[in-house]
Every structure is written in structure tokens, then in C-alpha cells.
Chains A and B, each alone.
Chain A
Amino acid sequence: MPLRWTFRSYVAPDGTDVIQDWFNHETKQARGKFRSKLRILGQLPFAEWRRPLFDTLADECTGLWEIRFDANHVPWRPLGFFQGLDTFTLVICASKDEHNWIPPNACTLGLARKAEILINPARCHDLPIPLE
């Protein structure tokens, strides 16, 4: 069964895919869980994108959404936004320490990358991590 959703990822000015770069440097536990969560979300209708897998952010993070999973006791929060009805674009893989973002400017950075993509669609491409 093909995924309902397409995942895309932010590409930095130097051509680095920041999501793939994070993935390549993470633990195998985090990699396995990240891929699993994307695959599950990719199979769900939009109405089922909700906690505990997913959440809408507010306040200084308004305009971004988070994917939620823990790996090696680290609460990972890949952030992204919707493009159309079937595309979710990831802009940063942040994490949390208690209630603080890591990096602390995760939402600011994420929103800036979102703005870059909206101005220049070439700043993102299909996530190069196989999900199906």
C-alpha cells in the first residue's frame, strides 16, 4: 500500500539536506524510530495526525508542527509544515530537554527555513530516506 503522504526536507544553501545529515549522524535506535514514525504517519489520513505521534505547535512556534518520538531517552521533535494536502516538509530535527528546545532557537530556525522554502521551492526536495 503506497504512502498517502510525501515527506520533503529542507536543503541548506550549501546543498546539504539537513534532515538526512541529522539522520546519518544519529544512533541506530533514533534512525529506526524516525523511519518508523514517518512511515506510520505517511499511512494515516490527516485527521489521525495527532498525539501521541504528532502535535501542532503554538506561540513562538506557530506555523510549525512536530513529530514526536523518544530514542535513547531523548525526546526527538522533527519540525515541519504542510504543503498542500499530501506533503509534509521537514525543516529541522530538534529535541527537548525538559521544556526547552535543543537547539534553543529551533522554532525560529524552523520558521526561517519554512520562509526560505516558500520563497524558493528549490530549497527543499523529496526526503532521500526510503520509507516504502
Chain B
Amino acid sequence: MTSPFPWSEALIRDLADKEEREAFVADQVRTRIALQIRALREQPGRGWSQTELGNRAGKPQPVISRLEDPEYGKVTLQTLLEAAAGFELPLLVEIVEWEEWAIRMSRVSAADLHRRSYDVELLIAEVQASVEAARQISIAAVAPNYGTAVSIGIGGAGPVYGGILSQAYNTYLDRDIPSNALNALSVYRGGQWGGNAMSLGNIAGPSPSFAQAVLTHDQSQEIVRLRNALTESERENATLRAKLADASLENPLDQRPVPPAFMISPHEAV
């Protein structure tokens, strides 16, 4: 899904000048990283001084002070890596599309820049919670009336596995599912919701090694087969509706031949 570009046409045109745009971009980047280092240092739960962050990052306090100064223009990648490591956080340096950049740069308040340090217990608890949610949550899309009714259940959130499964799911079912909202996938087949459930759930199952979760070939083929069945069912429904709409078929009894005893001869009619 594409987010709206967060700039007006006027701003985009103003920044058409390369030199001015480069100054703008550099200042946004430098200021944001400076604000983030301070925000992380002052984040509730840390409340560190520059000296304390320096100790954790293996840097003297003046280096931290310079990192928090957006006008200091000589920050190195190594220093940023070490500062991030001081917070037990990863660093992401990436050249991106303008849209993504503009959206990221529009989030600069301290609350927007707070991040959680690496915490084994917390991360494992999140993985376990997402797997449990996948077992319990399902959203039904029940096919109507006739033919092979197919309903689809979708598991809950899972930041570790979600993207992969969501991509696979969208590829095979052409459904618009948020990329972060899928951890396990269950497909139910039957005349009504919950009937004859055939579960493909727990595909992503808990994995202490954070192994990648993918759909197997057989599972993918089964999803394709069910998708085709649903399409066929919808096509049959459409055909039946079209026939019902035909006045001549509104009452099948009207189609019976009229018994001779009730027929009026041309002579009688005259």
C-alpha cells in the first residue's frame, strides 16, 4: 500500500534546486540523528547522562556531546555504530526512496524516536504471544449460498514471521492483508464457517532460532486449489442468480404443460 507523500506540491517544487535540496536533506538527517541520540539517552528507563552513554559506547563525553549537536558535520558511521551499541540497539543506514525518507523525517519528536534495547526475555515473550494469538484469532470470509463454500481464517500478529507469510498469502489468494498481521494461516473448507476445518495453521510455529517460516509447496498448492474452488463457486452463484432473475424461471410450476382439459379452443374463444 502506498502512503500519501507528506509534502505539498509547493515544497516539492521549491526543493527542485539541487543545492538547496541537498542542504535541506543533510540538515534533516543530521538533526534527526542528533535528536534521537538525546531522546534515547533521556528515554524513561534510561535517563543517562552524556558521560554514562559515553561509558557504554566506549566514547568520552565530548564525543557524545558532538553527536547530539546537529551542526557538527563529521559524524562517522563507526561512531554511530558504537553509539547505537551503547543503547544495545541496531543501526540502520540506507538510501531510500523520497517518499519513505519524507515520511521518516516527519517523525522527530522524542516519543517518535524512542526505542527499546535488546532484551532476550522481552523478545521471546513477544514471539510466544504472537504465536498464541495466531492460534486464537481468525477472521472469516465465508462464501455465500451454493457450491463449495470456502472460508479463510487468518492468524494474529507476528513481526518475525508475518512479512514472509503475508507475502505468500497475498501472492496465492490476492487478498489485501496487512503485512504485519499474519503469523499462521488456517484454511477452513465447508458449507459454513468452521465446518470441516482443514488447518494449515502453525506453519510458522515457535522457533527459538528465529528460523524463517515459509509455506511448503504442498501447502501453497492446497491454497491455490481452494482459491480456485472459491472462484468457481462464485461463478456458479452468479449463473444461478442470473437464471433466477429471468422471469420465465420465477416459478418453475409455470413451466408445466397446460392440461388439455383447460385449453380453450379457437372456436370457444370466438
A residues touching B (Cβ–Cβ < 8 Å)? 1, 28-33, 35-37, 39-40, 43-45, 48, 52-53, 69-71, 129-132
Contact = CB atoms under 8 A, between A and B. Distances in A.
Interface residues of B, number: 30
Contacts, number: 72
Contacts of B242: none
B108 A40 contact: yes
Interface of B: 6-8, 10-11, 14, 17, 19-28, 31-32, 34-35, 68-71, 106-110
A116 B234 CA distance: 72
Nearest to A30: B23
B24 A35 contact: yes
A32 B22 contact: yes
A32 B71 CA distance: 13
Contact of A52 (B8, B10, B24, B34): B34
B109 A44 contact: yes
Given A130-B14, A131-B11, A132-B6, A70 B71 contact: yes
A50 to B, nearest CB: 10
Contacts of B17: 28
Contacts of B32: 40
Q: Closest 3 interchain pairs by CB?
A: A32-B23, A36-B27, A32-B24
Contacts of A36: 23-24, 27-28, 31
Contacts of A40: 28, 31-32, 35, 108
B6 A52 contact: no
Nearest to B39: A48
B19 A29 contact: yes
A48 B23 CA distance: 23
28 contacts: A28-B17, A28-B23, A30-B23, A31-B23, A32-B23, A32-B25, A32-B26, A33-B27, A35-B14, A36-B24, A36-B27, A36-B28, A40-B35, A43-B106, A43-B108, A44-B108, A48-B109, A48-B110, A52-B34, A52-B69, A53-B31, A53-B70, A70-B71, A129-B14, A130-B8, A130-B11, A132-B6, A132-B11
